Structure formats: C-alpha cells, structure tokens
Amino acid sequence: MRNFDNTKREPLMQESAYRTSVKLKQGNYVEVDVIRYLAKKSKDYEKQRSISWSWVFSHLELLIQRYSGGEPIEDLGPFAEQVFAQFARHQQSFPDFCLQPQEPDAYQYILWLLALATLFDMPERIAHITSWISCAPNGTQDALLSRLFARVGAPLKAGEILHKRPYSELFSVLNSTGPEQQLHMSRYLKQWYSCLRRCYWHGRDKRPASGFFGYWAFEAGMVTLLWNIDDTPYRELPYYPKDLVDHARANHGATPQP
C-alpha cells in the first residue's frame, strides 16, 4: 500500500480528509444513477437542474482530487471520461445550460475542461466544450479562450480579455517566446491563486470538511504542452501540474494548430 504523504501531489492535502471526501463523492454521486435519482425527486425544473449540476461538479472535483492525492495518471483516464459524460448528460437534460465566461467559476471550469481534454488526449471533447460556452451578445468570445481554442482547431471570434488578473499574464505567454515566455508563465503561476479569491474553491484547504480537492492551474500545463515550452524554470512552482504534463508529453505529445 502506497504511503500517501510520499505520493500525494497536493502538499496541502491531508490523508484522512482526502479519503473521507473521495468516499463520499464516490458513494453519493459516481455510484448513484442521477437519472433515476432525479425521477424520484421533485418535478420542479430548477430544483432538478440544481441536483443534476451537483453530479457534474462532483465528478470534476473527484478527478482533480484523485490527481492531488497522487493516484497514477494512467488510472485517471476513466474518471476524465466520466466528467465529460456528466457535462454532456446535464446539457442534454437541461438545454439552457451554458458556462458564462464572465463568471469567475465558469471561466475556470472552461479552462480546466479544455486543459483536461488536451492533457488526457481527448480531442473529440473539444467541440463539446465549445457548445457549453456562451458568447457575448455580439458573438465574440474572451480573447484568451479564443486563442486557446484556436490552438486545438476550434477557433472562436475574439473579443476582449474578461478577467485581466491573472489571465493577462497567461495571454502574454502566448505572445512571447523563449525566456520571456517562461518568465510570463512563472509570473502567472505565482499570482494564480491569490487572484482567484472569488472562485468557490478558494481557501478550502483551511476547511477540512469542505471537500478540498487541490489547487491546480491545469491551463498552465496545457499551454506548456501546446506551445512546446521548456518548463524547467517553473515546473516546481505551486499549482503547476508537472506530472500530468510529463505524462502527456511522454504518451501523446500535442499537435497544435498553426
């Protein structure tokens, strides 16, 4: 049996809280058929949608939590598939569902989903993600998201950057090369957590019963992979998912679009 403290990837993760939270998510969501569960509950549309959404974000949190806890990356693929399956199911059941980039949590979800699809080599999921995102009234999309999706072959009409802190620094990574590019990424990682105080998961490590699942800037790993950046200067910085990047590079690399 592995030693948790020696293999965990998230330094702030406590073993007892981790095992309790994983067990609860597994028993309450993964092992429960949400369709049947909803059929037994209120017929109220909004209540059903709220319950259904809890299945979605719980699967996403569980995937991230397992990565934080040090589980082998090759074992995490099926959990990533479950995440996307839950998003697709939710949208099919509630067609008015969309992720609105102007909301900090939704913006981070979009980045995580795109990063996970890229790092776990699931290109077929890219089009699904774009269908879950709302655009501005003029049909434009956040400038950073537009560049990232274009890189994986799903161009979106670019508008302005919606959240300048911390994402303007990541945008600068895309517009630079060499040491300057590495410097911008280092700056991005150093300010990532402090700039995301409005996200619901911020500070969960200080609340053991909250279901802390780890702090990861997966988008930094995605950009490193797609832009083929030497991550030596920043790979040991907090929040950078170096193991997932290494796994992706070793197993499938990336085929960025021009």
Among 43-57, 60-74, 228-242, the range scoring the smallest mean pLDDT is 43-57
Domain map of the chain by residue range? 4-251
Phi, psi (rounded to 5 degrees) for 253: 60, -145
Whether 245 and 119 have beta carbons less than 8 Å apart is answered as yes
Whole-number percent of the chain with pLDDT over 70: 96
Angle 142-146-152 (CA atoms, 0-180°, nearest 5)?
Answer: 150
Cα–Cα distance measured from residue 202 to residue 150, given in angstroms and rounded to the nearest whole number: 29
* Residues in Cβ contact with 205 at an 8 Å cutoff, skipping those fewer than 6 apart: 12, 13, 212, 215
Cα–Cα distance measured from residue 99 to residue 107, given in angstroms and rounded to the nearest whole number: 7
Taking only the tens place, the pLDDT of each residue in 171-202 is: 999 999 999 999 999 999 999 999 999 999 99
Q: How confident is the model at residue 254 (pLDDT cuts 50, 70, 90)?
A: low
Cα–Cα distance measured from residue 174 to residue 183, given in angstroms and rounded to the nearest whole number: 12
* Residues in Cβ contact with 168 at an 8 Å cutoff, skipping those fewer than 6 apart: 161
For residue 124, give the nearest of 153, 144, 158, 146 by alpha carbon. 153
Q: Which secondary structure element, helix H or strand E, spans residue 192, and what is its range?
A: helix 178-192
Grouping H, G, I as helix, E, B as strand and the rest as coil, residue 141 is strand
DSSP codes of every residue in 221-254: HHHHHHTT---TTTTTSTT--HHHHHHHHHHT--
Cα–Cα distance measured from residue 208 to residue 16, given in angstroms and rounded to the nearest whole number: 9
Q: Which secondary structure element, helix H or strand E, spans residue 64, and what is its range?
A: helix 45-68
**Encoded tokens for 41:** 């509950």
pLDDT at 258 exceeding the cut of 50: no
Q: Cα(first)–Cα(last) distance of the chain, in Å?
A: 46
Average pLDDT score over the chain = 93
**In the CATH hierarchy, which fold is given to the domain comprising 4-251?**
PA2201 C-terminal domain-like (1.10.3920)
Q: Please state, in angstroms and as integers, the Cα–Cα distance from residue 193 to each residue in 166, 204, 258, following that order.
A: 9, 12, 31
pTM to 2 decimal places: 0.94
Taking only the tens place, the pLDDT of each residue in 13-59 is: 999 999 999 999 999 999 999 998 988 877 788 999 999 999 999 99
Taking only the tens place, the pLDDT of each residue in 144-179 is: 999 999 999 998 888 899 999 999 999 999 999 999
Angle 246-248-252 (CA atoms, 0-180°, nearest 5)?
Answer: 135
Whether 185 and 220 have beta carbons less than 8 Å apart is answered as yes
Whole-number percent of the chain with pLDDT over 90: 85
